[in-house]
Structure 1
Amino acid sequence: MLNIADTLYGWCRQDRPFALATIIQVSGSAPLPPGTALAVDTDGNAVGSISGGCVEGAVYELCTQVLESGEPPVRVSFGYSDSDAFAVGLTCGGELEVLVQRIDPAEHPHLTTTLEQVLTGVPVAVAQVIDGPLRLLGRTLSVLGGGSAYTGTLGTRQTDQTVVGQVSALLRAGRTGRVEVGGDADTCPEKLTLLVHTHAAPPRMLIFGAVDFTAALSRVGHFLGYQVTVCDARPVFATPERFPYADEVVVDWPHRYLGRTETDARTVICVLTHDAKFDIPLLRAALDLPVGYIGAMGSRRTHEHRLERLREAGVPEEHLARLRSPIGLDLGAHTPEETAISITAEIVAHINKGTCLPLSRVRGPIHHAVPTALMTSPAELLSV
């Protein structure tokens, strides 16, 4: 639905009911991915597309029917027909499944907030129930701002917390996809399949220092879905050839580059230079930014000297407390590759509020719900 957010936002602002047809599953060579939507309002106006043309007429009629009758959401499949390639079907040879539902904006006020956030560039993920109890089919819950707030509800607070935890992970990665939750007493009793619509660029990993550890870390960061930037002031070391998994290699003083590049709450900063002339001005700037993670490489002695210099530079203690140094978890790592795993393991644990304990020593569900401190109610969100 986020592909037509601008029009849907206008309809929501006008309290205009509409029918929403969403691709929830594709196979073969279907032309458009899951999450793509077509909508029809009460005046018969249509926006969006789900097939590039070959089944639009049939979906339009179904939208009109659902909109006029007010019937519950329906799921319908379209596929290629060998006997009549030009009948209702996908002439490209693929198959797709579509969920069609009526949306009354007055009954879903959180959608207006969500669509407004999309249009203003805020990272947003919308979880839409595509399989489960009929009373929940089509219902949505939105996670905003990198996982710091949510709006809407799927029923109980326990269910909402479970869903927000799963959706936040996809939002941080900037990915659209399906997730399954519930079916057990530890999460939520009802099993739900959700299609998560995500509006966000991939999160950024900024690695400062063109060293051997950087090559391994950039590779693991790329694997985890980060947009990786390597920055070093030394042009002889900062070359694309040395860091093929980096999306960008920048030759500049680290603190100067950090001051001119974009960061947000999902950005992770890894300082691997362990050279005071680079580290101190860089960390002084980084610790003043609302980023998701800041870590610095070096021995414990290096860390203590670094803290002394940062204090002398006027960095307050509450900012110093955000610095993860020495960087990484204690995995007994020695090689650059093992060190990269150590660093990214700490990043994942920090972002997801993990305990860093072996799962064999942790009781309860192995998938974390979002901590209560991060949960924001719809009323609280609208007052921000």
Structure 2
Amino acid sequence: MLDIAPELARWSEEGRDFAVATVVTVGGSAPRGPGAALAVDSRGTAVGSVSGGCVEGAVYDLCVQALQDGEPVRERFGYSDEDAFAVGLTCGGVVEVLVTPVYGGDPVVGAALAAAGRGEAVALARVARGPSGLFGRALLVRSDGSYEGGLGGRPPLDRTAAAEARALLAAGRTGTVELSADGSHCPGGLTLFVESSLPPPRMIVFGAVDFAAALVRAGAFLGYRVTVCDARPVFATRDRFPDADEIVVDWPHRYLLRTATDERTVLCVLTHDAKFDIPLLREALRLPVAFVGAMGSRRTHEDRDRRLREAGVSDRELARLRSPIGLDLGGRTPEETALSIAAEIIAVRNGGSGAPLTGSAEPIHRADRRVPAA
């Protein structure tokens, strides 16, 4: 639900009735993961997706029916061997969706959608399996542990659910937790589905060059909050980077030391100028960020490597540097280069190889290779 929060927040503010189908669990080669959602309002307007097209029609009908019945429902969709065009995932995967009706601007759901739409760190916990009196109940949990709503007037259960949701939120994860109705962790009682929504991760692009302009667009498309930093005010301008969230005129290493970064932050160094690169990369490679990449030729990389070693950067720190930045796609233009950089960032974030899928026997979607907290 929270992955389409901006649109649903608007529906909630307008007091619209709607139903939301959210992917709770997946198995095999399912096209979308837990948290993917499709919503349908009382006018029949739809937003979002749960399967990339495989079962959208059937899920749409479930949403319409839930709005009429006023009851949440959980449904499983899998591959149909008998008829590839029947309702099912022809890719061979299995998904379970939780369909929940929301009426008249539900305060808990509305608050969660509004907070997620503003980019705040929040989790929405819902009972995806359990007694009829609890099924579909929701709890909004914030990063400080405070919560709104409840799971049926049972304070111990609310406290346990809030603690579990906060832990998943801290890890940036969406998933299920098994609890008993009394709030303990004994399996067999109820399943709590927790959606986590975090502020957008940061991409900081150092070097206000033509390649940076294309990379800014790619970063924004991937959902990053993009900053461009360059020490030269004549190049670091809004006219040159209209798609950037922030433009900073400062020496790159000095800005990096004073700005906030975390385990999801991506740093792309496109200056390929030693007076900027060396002090910047010396600091960047010591930060717990997700990705550090630097542009340049093989010769530039060798010279940069030597200079960084002379500056005291260790072998372990140098091993984190992705240089030359990007995957080998054979491109040359700024847009093609930006695509190759974005592809490498995605591969590193998800533990992908970057190799063609053609001819590979490996599953396309493998949750076990995702890199945690990246």
For Structure 1 versus Structure 2, the TM-score category normalised by the shorter chain is 0.5 to 0.7
From 314, 319, 322, the equivalent of 1:321 is 319
Amino acid at match of 1:371: R
Amino acid at match of 2:307: R
Q: Which secondary structure state, in structure 1, belongs to the residue aligned with residue 228 of structure 2?
A: strand
Question: Structure 1 residues 364 and 223 mapped into 2: Cα distance closer, same or farther (>3 Å)?
Answer: same
Gaps of at least 5 residues in structure 2 are 3-17, 22-38, 49-101, 110-126, 138-149
Deviations 1:300-321 (A, max 9, x none): 1110110111111111100000
Q: Which secondary structure state, in structure 1, belongs to the residue aligned with residue 367 of structure 2?
A: coil
What is the alpha-carbon distance in structure 1 between the residues aligned to residue 276 and residue 350 of structure 2? 30
Deviations 1:192-219 (A, max 9, x none): 9x97622311011000000000000000
Q: TM-score, normalised by structure 2?
A: 0.57
Amino acid at match of 1:302: T
From 104, 114, 122, the equivalent of 2:170 is 122
Deviations 1:148-176 (A, max 9, x none): xxxx9999xxxxxxxxxxxxxxxxxxxxx
Give the aligned partner of residue 28 of structure 1: 41
Shift of 1:361: 2.5
Give the aligned partner of residue 222 of structure 1: 220
Q: Contact (CA 8 Å) 2:269, 2:295: kept in 1 or not?
A: yes
Q: Which secondary structure state, in structure 1, belongs to the residue aligned with residue 345 of structure 2?
A: helix
Question: Structure 1 residues 361 and 106 mapped into 2: Cα distance closer, same or farther (>3 Å)?
Answer: farther
Shift of 1:370: 2.8
From 310, 315, 318, the equivalent of 2:308 is 310
Q: Contact (CA 8 Å) 2:20, 2:40: kept in 1 or not?
A: no
Shift of 1:365: 1.7
What is the alpha-carbon distance in structure 2 between the residues aligned to residue 235 and residue 201 of structure 1? 29
What is the alpha-carbon distance in structure 2 between the residues aligned to residue 358 and residue 211 of structure 1? 30
What is the alpha-carbon distance in structure 1 between the residues aligned to residue 107 and residue 279 of structure 2? 58
Q: Which secondary structure state, in structure 1, belongs to the residue aligned with residue 174 of structure 2?
A: strand
Question: Structure 1 residues 70 and 153 mapped into 2: Cα distance closer, same or farther (>3 Å)?
Answer: closer
What is the alpha-carbon distance in structure 2 between the residues aligned to residue 55 and residue 330 of structure 1? 47
Give the aligned partner of residue 52 of structure 1: 105
Amino acid at match of 1:325: S
Shift of 1:360: 1.4
Q: Which secondary structure state, in structure 2, belongs to the residue aligned with residue 361 of structure 1?
A: coil
Superposed, which structure 2 residues align to 1:1-384 within 5 Å?
24-25=20-21, 26-28=39-41, 51-52=104-105, 70-71=131-132, 73-74=134-135, 111-117=161-167, 122=170, 124-127=172-175, 197-371=195-369, 374=372
Give the aligned partner of residue 147 of structure 2: none
Task: Single out whichever of 243-252 and 109-118 deviates more from structure 2.
Answer: 109-118
Give the aligned partner of residue 19 of structure 1: none
Q: What is the CA RMSD across the aligned residues, in angstroms?
A: 4.2
Deviations 1:2-49 (A, max 9, x none): 9xxxxxxxxxxxxxxxxxxx974543389xx99xxxxxxxxxxxxxx9
Deviations 1:64-113 (A, max 9, x none): xx9xx95465469xxxxxxxxxxxxxxxxxxxxxxx96596867987344
Amino acid at match of 1:111: A
Question: Structure 1 residues 345 and 122 mapped into 2: Cα distance closer, same or farther (>3 Å)?
Answer: same
Amino acid at match of 1:281: P
Question: Structure 1 residues 71 and 27 mapped into 2: Cα distance closer, same or farther (>3 Å)?
Answer: closer
Q: Contact (CA 8 Å) 1:298, 1:326: kept in 2 or not?
A: yes
Identity within the alignment, %: 54
Q: Contact (CA 8 Å) 2:350, 2:371: kept in 1 or not?
A: no
Q: Contact (CA 8 Å) 1:105, 1:112: kept in 2 or not?
A: no
Q: Which secondary structure state, in structure 1, belongs to the residue aligned with residue 358 of structure 2?
A: helix
Q: Which secondary structure state, in structure 2, belongs to the residue aligned with residue 347 of structure 1?
A: helix
What is the alpha-carbon distance in structure 2 between the residues aligned to residue 367 and residue 204 of structure 1? 25
Q: Which secondary structure state, in structure 2, belongs to the residue aligned with residue 334 of structure 1?
A: coil
Question: Structure 1 residues 242 and 153 mapped into 2: Cα distance closer, same or farther (>3 Å)?
Answer: farther
Q: TM-score, normalised by structure 1?
A: 0.55
Amino acid at match of 2:41: G
Amino acid at match of 2:228: V
What is the alpha-carbon distance in structure 1 between the residues aligned to residue 167 and residue 132 of structure 2? 29
How many residue pairs are counted as aligned between the two chains?
A: 248
